[in-house]
């Protein structure tokens, strides 16, 4: 994202407001990892899930995935993280969302007792397991990490930029980032945020912005970082 914005002539202020934290592995989790050959599908909805799942495999002394295990990924970034581990992406969900995963697996007829493993964030949405269980699939949710609030080291710089009205757009790539940002910078104290272009990577993140009583001005049709930057560029060309 930084590279794309810079190439278009933009200036980037990086302010991480969430961090990814590996969760401890229980004995029950270790047993699941020892029976990967019983699963037909492995779902990844984020690059963080891929990286943290790999760390769990290492802790459980699992050296490789069974050849029969098929992988489905959401979005190009997640797919790239899968391939970086030396794993093959069987399906890249056309719609980069939880709904897209469900649609792709239903096309593969993943119902009737199909066993599916879903490593994800502790606070992840329940849509995937809920919808797949409706068609008889057996989904095992494996919380491998959690997102925790973080305070950017340059928060003072960000506040100064806002006071000086020296920020044109703010990008959000997850609901948790939205929540922490507005915890640090409440709208009641920073009404200037109403004047800034708030850009959400997808519909779920856009909903989180709306819950802050604000309207995102940019939401790309495709949920991806390149699409987000392209949509922001189009917005400023028109405005």
**Percent of residues in the chain assigned helix, strand, coil, to nearest 5:** 45, 20, 40
22-146: what CATH class?
A: alpha beta
Q: Where in the chain is the domain with CATH 3.40.50.10090?
A: 2-17+150-238, 22-146
| pLDDT tens per residue across span 113-139 | 789 999 999 987 788 888 888 888 889
| pLDDT tens per residue across span 56-67 | 999 999 999 999
| pLDDT tens per residue across span 161-198 | 999 999 999 999 999 999 999 999 999 999 999 999 99
Give the mean pLDDT of 202-208. Answer: 93
* 171 bridge partner residues: 199
E strands within the chain?
Answer: 18-22, 41-44, 70-74, 91-93, 115-121, 138-149, 169-172, 197-200
Query: Under a CB-based contact definition with an 8 Å cutoff, are residues 206 and 181 in contact?
Result: no
Three-class secondary structure of residue 230 per DSSP: helix
- Of 38-47, 126-135, 144-153, the least confident: 126-135
Whole-model pTM? 0.79
Give the mean pLDDT of 83-109. Answer: 81
Rounded to 10 deg, the angle between the 127-134 and 98-107 helix axes is 30
Rounded to 10 deg, the angle between the 47-59 and 75-84 helix axes is 30
How high is the pLDDT of residue 134?
83
Residues 6 or more apart from 84 whose CB is under 8 A from it? 50
Q: How is residue 239 written in tokens? A: 């405005």
Of the candidate CATH numbers 3.40.50.620, 3.40.50.10090, 3.20.20.70, 3.40.50.280, the domain formed by 2-17+150-238 belongs to: 3.40.50.10090
Split at pLDDT 50, 70, 90, the class of 93 is confident
């Amino acid at each position: 994202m930084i590279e794309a914005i810079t190439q278009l002539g933009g200036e980037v202020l990086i302010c991480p407001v969430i961090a990814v934290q590996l969760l401890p592995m229980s004995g029950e989790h270790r047993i699941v990892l020892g029976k990967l050959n019983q699963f037909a599908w492995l779902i990844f909805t984020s690059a963080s899930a891929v990286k943290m799942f790999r760390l769990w495999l290492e802790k459980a002394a699992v050296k490789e995935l069974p050849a029969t295990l098929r992988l489905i990924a959401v979005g190009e970034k997640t797919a790239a993280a899968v391939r970086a581990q030396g794993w093959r992406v069987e399906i890249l969900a056309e719609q980069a969302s939880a709904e897209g995963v469900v649609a792709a697996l239903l096309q593969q007829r993943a119902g009737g007792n199909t066993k599916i493993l879903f490593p994800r964030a502790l606070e992840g949405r329940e849509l995937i397991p809920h919808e797949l269980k409706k068609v008889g699939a057996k989904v095992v949710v494996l919380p491998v990490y959690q997102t925790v609030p973080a305070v950017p080291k340059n928060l003072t710089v960000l506040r100064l930029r806002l006071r000086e009205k020296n920020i044109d757009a703010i990008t959000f790539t997850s609901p948790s980032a939205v929540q922490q940002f507005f915890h640090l910078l409440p709208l009641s104290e920073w009404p200037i945020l109403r004047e800034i272009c708030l850009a959400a990577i997808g519909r779920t993140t856009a909903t989180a912005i709306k819950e802050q009583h604000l309207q995102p001005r940019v939401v790309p049709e495709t949920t991806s970082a390149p699409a987000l930057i392209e949509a922001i560029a189009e917005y400023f060309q028109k405005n």
